[in-house]
Amino acid sequence: MSRRTNTSKTGLRRLQKEQCTLKVAAGKKPGEEGYLEGCAAHPVSESDFFNWVGTISGPPDTPYEGGTFNLSLSFAGGYPLRPPKAKFITRVFHPNISRDGGICLDILKNQWSPALTIGSLLQSIRSLLDDPNASDPLDPEAGALYRDNIEAFAAKARQYTLEYAIPK
């Protein structure tokens, strides 16, 4: 058996386990152990466990509140030893999210650990919506507006949420 096949099998087993965990989390109530606030994910199809769709609801008291945002998650390339590729499908105005949906987040790059899960990744992305890092913007326009005029930034982010996000 080649190393690549073994890695794929390890990744598949891990993804199957995480799917079960996410299904259980979906049935939990706020405050219960294992509850994931405002996040969900599942494989695109039962025959393709390496490509998933995720959803994140906009955090309260942010310009993203009331919107649901879709993401694509790709687990090819050595998961869980290497991070998945995550990308917003829904347009989002945010300093750390590019116009094509790319996400600037340390755990999607050099801070990934096999101990992280799909749930923890989604929670980190949701936290990023609440707490942008304008010192390292992926979208220069959003980063500059966030740094220079937070009210104008919030208005534009809210406009994108109303225009592109799925209403909650």
Cis ω before 30 (30° cut-off from 0): no
Kindly name the residue from 25, 56, 97, 104 that is annotated as catalytic. 104
Question: What whole-number distance in Å separates Cα of residue 19 and Cα of residue 25?
Answer: 10
Task: Give the list of residues 6+ apart from residue 157 with CB closer than 8 angstroms, or none.
Answer: 62, 63, 64, 92, 93, 94, 142
Residue 5 phi/psi, 5-degree rounding, is -65, -40
The answer to whether 97 and 139 are in contact (CB under 8 A) is yes
Closest CA to 154 of 33, 162, 24: 162
C-alpha pair distances (Å), 143 with each of 80, 133, 153, 163: 31, 8, 9, 20
Bridge partners of 51, per DSSP, are 74
20 classed as catalytic: no
Residues annotated as part of the active site: 104
